[in-house]
Chains A and B, each alone.
Chain A
């Protein structure tokens, strides 16, 4: 009996132990299941992240593409703007050049206006000649020059006023002969092409000869032999100005000559009247 009891008790104890082990096994299984569940959840999370991670690099690509497009567009715009700037700069240069030309033309017009005003401010023949000399020095820049007038009776050109030259040495020039005579006959101005060619003073070969014309009638010639040292050459505007000035000078000379002659005649007539009436 005792043995049986003892066996039963041992059995019971072993069953107890087994039960304990089984319980622990159950707990362990439960824990494993829980961990498994957590891991599965984590896997799902990671898969989710992975999917997310896969889709994220796509976004910068797209943005990058858009940015690249914008950069391209901006580059194109910049090129267009650069082109416009170049065009504007070129236009500015043209305007600046045009401005200089207009200023030069204005300057010449002012010169012409003042010269003409001075020329017509007097009817005294000598004074008119003096004004012409002054104009040629100051506006044209001549150093050695003379004013030749045509003697209608002898058909000769004689020097009437000058600057920088000895008038006694200047010969009388026949109408139509030599550069000066030809200018007087043809009525067309003469400008030597290369002024530096004329280093030696030659009375018959001036550097410039401008006819003094009233309409088509030549009354004389302005002749330049030498320019001021700082005046190296004539510009096309100088040609124009000089020709226009010569036109005004011719009218002033003609008017003052007529006035002097009529004054002389008037004084002669007045003399006769005085003789007859006294």
Chain B
């Protein structure tokens, strides 16, 4: 069975755990956590991932900067990126999608909703 690797970039440990907890319902999923954009880039250089989930408001490097840098990398050009954020404005969403995000989810999140979206992007039945 194929193993799926998901990178969660989020400064809130509670939120990281919450997302990870929802995704762990899937079999063969490996979750790697990063606490900000720079940490996220470091983890991306050390391993290959099938999906990246990131927050926007984070210290050191925010999620939008991270998305734009990831999309410049040929290796991660086609990897799905989900944004999970408190920013619920339409402009924020459009900006994130323009930079290359695939999905924009606002907090508070619903675990089952995130799980379904991940399954859909990773083609897991």
Contacts and interface: CB of A to CB of B under 8 A. Distances in A.
Interface in A86-131: 103-104, 106-107, 110-111, 113-115, 117-118, 131
B75 interface: no
A131 B112 CA distance: 23
Given A118-B17, A135-B14, A143 B111 contact: no
A134 B89 contact: no
B108 A138 contact: yes
A115 B14 contact: yes
B14 A138 contact: yes
7 contacts: A104-B112, A106-B111, A134-B15, A137-B12, A138-B15, A141-B108, A230-B88
B106 interface: yes
Contacts of A104: 110, 112
A51 B88 CA distance: 91
A229 B12 contact: no
A140 interface: yes
B111 A117 contact: no
| Interface footprint category on A | 20 to 34
A103 B116 CA distance: 12
A137 B18 contact: no
B14 A228 contact: no
B46 to A, nearest CB: 26
A50 interface: no
Nearest to A137: B86
Contacts of B17: 114, 117-118
Interface string A63-106: 00000000000000000000000000000000000000001101
A110 B22 contact: yes
Interface residues of B, number: 18
B24 to A, nearest CB: 10
A230 B18 CA distance: 19
Nearest to A241: B108
Nearest to B57: A137
Interface centre among B14, B17, B89, B110 (most CB of A within 10 A): B14
A217 interface: no
A208 to B, nearest CB: 14
A231 interface: yes
Contacts of A135: 14
B59 interface: no
Interface string B43-87: 000000000000000000000000000000000000000000010
B110 A107 contact: yes
Interface in A170-193: none
Nearest to A103: B112
A161 interface: no
Contacts of B109: 138
Contacts of A165: none
A228 B18 contact: no
Contacts of A107: 22, 110-112
A139 interface: yes
A140 B109 CA distance: 9
Nearest to A139: B108
B33 to A, nearest CB: 13
Given A107-B111, A137-B86, A118 B14 contact: yes
B11 to A, nearest CB: 9
Contacts of A140: 108
Contacts of A138: 12, 14-15, 18, 86, 107-109
